[in-house]
Amino acid sequence: MIDLGRYAGAVLSAYGVSLAMLVALVLLSLRRGRKVRADMEMIEERGRANG
């Protein structure tokens, strides 16, 4: 790793926060995708029952 000098703490914490935010965004997107897929399947089942 390169020497960051006195800015090492700030740079590494910025990387840590960015990584945490990316992970949170991916997890939230996956959770939302599962919910939308379940909702769409429920709507399709209702359409088949009425159809």
Quick one: average pLDDT of 17-36? 98
**pLDDT confidence bin for 3, thresholds 50/70/90:** confident
Give the pLDDT confidence score for residue 28 in this predicted structure.
98
pTM for the complete prediction? 0.72
51, pLDDT greater than 80: no
> How many whole angstroms separate alpha carbon 15 and alpha carbon 21?
10
Q: How far apart are the first and last CA of the chain?
A: 63
> How many whole angstroms separate alpha carbon 33 and alpha carbon 51?
26
Quick one: average pLDDT of 20-43? 97
48, pLDDT greater than 80: yes
1, pLDDT greater than 70: no
The b-or-e profile of 7-16 (16+ CB within 10 A means b, else e) is eeeeeeeeee
* The residue type at 3: D
